């Protein structure tokens, strides 16, 4: 039960995060709450370069993060939503899957930085999305295990809840 609550909270937080990425350009394009919109852009600028030519646009305004970051976050949301459909929900996949998901993105960035090939809309969207979709397969089982351990700790004989009852 606690696992489901933790999963629900995680999905809600990721959905809110993705929502804020979309709210910033919508507010800016409609000239609503300009201070809040600007604050969102400033907040996301801590984690993303926000280059206009490397960003999706909504209402004529760029997203609060670039294409690759948007693809990672929205991919994560999609992966998290489909996580309950996995066959082995509690099992963390092999690290090779994480390598498989991140290698194309690392290669795309490296080739761009080295001047071998300029990354484009497709490569940024695909590589970021692939990485984002795979991440929940690692994070959600780890979160579930952490919640389970915390729960066991609370309810064991030496746990926090039992210690309070004896006082």
* CB-CB contact of 50 with 66 (8 Å): yes
Report whether pLDDT(1) > 70.
no
Instruction: Write down the pLDDT at residue 156.
Output: 75
Helix, strand, or coil (residue 118): coil
Q: What is the pLDDT of residues 113-142, one digit of tens each?
A: 999 999 999 999 999 999 999 999 999 988
Residue 49 vs residue 154, higher pLDDT: 49
3-state helix, strand, coil in the chain (%, to 5): 75, 0, 25
Instruction: Write down the pLDDT at residue 167.
Output: 52
Mean pLDDT, all residues of the chain: 91
DSSP assigned state of 135: T
Q: For the residues 41-51, what does the mean pLDDT come to?
A: 98
Instruction: Write down the pLDDT at residue 110.
Output: 97
Instruction: Write down the pLDDT at residue 146.
Output: 86
Report whether pLDDT(90) > 90.
no
């Amino acid at each position: 039960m606690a696992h489901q609550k933790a999963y629900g909270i995680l999905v809600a937080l990721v959905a809110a995060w993705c929502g804020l990425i979309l709210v910033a350009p919508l507010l800016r394009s409609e000239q609503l709450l300009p201070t809040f919109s600007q604050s969102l852009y400033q907040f996301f600028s801590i984690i993303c370069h926000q280059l206009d030519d490397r960003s999706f646009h909504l209402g004529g305004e760029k997203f609060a993060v670039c294409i690759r970051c948007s693809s990672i976050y929205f991919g994560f949301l999609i992966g998290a939503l489909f996580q309950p459909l996995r066959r082995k929900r509690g099992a963390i996949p092999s690290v090779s899957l994480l390598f498989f998901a991140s290698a194309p993105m690392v290669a795309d960035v490296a080739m761009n930085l080295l001047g071998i090939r300029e990354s484009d809309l497709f490569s940024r969207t695909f590589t970021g999305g692939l990485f984002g979709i795979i991440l929940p397969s690692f994070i959600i089982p780890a979160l579930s295990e952490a919640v389970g351990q915390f729960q066991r700790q609370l309810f064991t004989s030496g746990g926090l809840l039992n210690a309070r009852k004896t006082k």
